[in-house]
Structure 1
Amino acid sequence: MEKLAIALMTGAESSARALLHRDVVMLIDSGGIVSAAVTPLTGPNQVAAALRTLATAETSITAASINGAHGFVLARDGVVVGAVTAEMRRRLLTSVWVVCSPEKLRHWNRR
């Protein structure tokens, strides 16, 4: 996850793509509130492009434990807008889960 976060922070989509298994699947839980893919994204090209869209230049990325798993949170202007976790096999990410539903991220934004 750390290598993926670094690739996203530096804008290196090709580096992110290299970390993804050829059969990678990404699910995005937007809660129907924010704009996001409603069907699973498949393959390194689609998944890397979607991650790059989520992690814009204005986004900070911070390592975090998400439901007990290694992951990271995406924040803009100090507000968490996404939580990302993944499953890995043989050093490649096979599944990526993104939660960007404001309702489900509420506890990340308590101050």
Structure 2
Amino acid sequence: MSFLVRRGDESVVQEFATACSAGSVGALRRMLAPQAVVVSDGGGQVAAAPHPVRGADAVAQCVTELLSLQPGTALTVQAVNGQAGVVLRRAGAVVAVVSLTVTGAKVAAVWIVLNPDKLRHWL
């Protein structure tokens, strides 16, 4: 898997984070490439899409549902796999890590790790 957010694409990641914080399907939709895809991993322990979701409308809806911010959730932009990404924490514990593939000024792919076993090393 390749997680590609080049220098200069940090503004796209920040915009993505802002749209997620707002829970705005429309804002997410506008920043997605038409053939965008989201892959999520819940490890069978938390809700995640069982298969990749394709198409900007479906991806925007899926991301909004998976990353819905419950009270007490903090969302930050920070390094994920050496690139700008998004980390969600609830009660101080990491509950999701998001990597993006950015093409031009659009998000082409969203990779969401929700699996608690894979998030244990995150601080």
Q: TM-score, normalised by structure 2?
A: 0.82
Distance of 2:36 and 2:104 partners within structure 1: 13
Q: Secondary structure at the match of 1:27?
A: strand
- What's 1:102 paired with? 116
- Matched with 1:38 is 50
Specify the alignment match of 1:67 in structure 2.
Answer: 81
Q: Which segment drifts farther, 94-103 or 52-61? A: 52-61
In 1, distance between residues paired with 2:35 and 2:68?
A: 25
Deviations 1:64-107 (A, max 9, x none): 11111210111222221100011111110111100011011001
- The CA distance in 1 between the partners of 2:22 and 2:35, in whole Å, is 24
Residues 48, 66 of structure 2: 8 Å contact kept = no
Q: What is the CA-CA distance between 1:35 and the residue it aligns to?
A: 1.9
Q: AA paired with 1:97?
A: W
Aligned-residue sequence identity (percent) comes to: 35
Aligned residues: 109
Unpaired runs of at least 5, structure 2: 1-12
* Match of residue 41, structure 2, among 29, 44, 53: 29
- The partner residue of 2:24 within 3, 6, 12 is 12
> Normalising by the residue count of structure 1, what TM-score does the alignment of the two structures yield?
0.90
Backbone CA RMSD of aligned residues:
1.3
Deviations 1:22-74 (A, max 9, x none): 00011011122212111001111111112111232323211111111210111
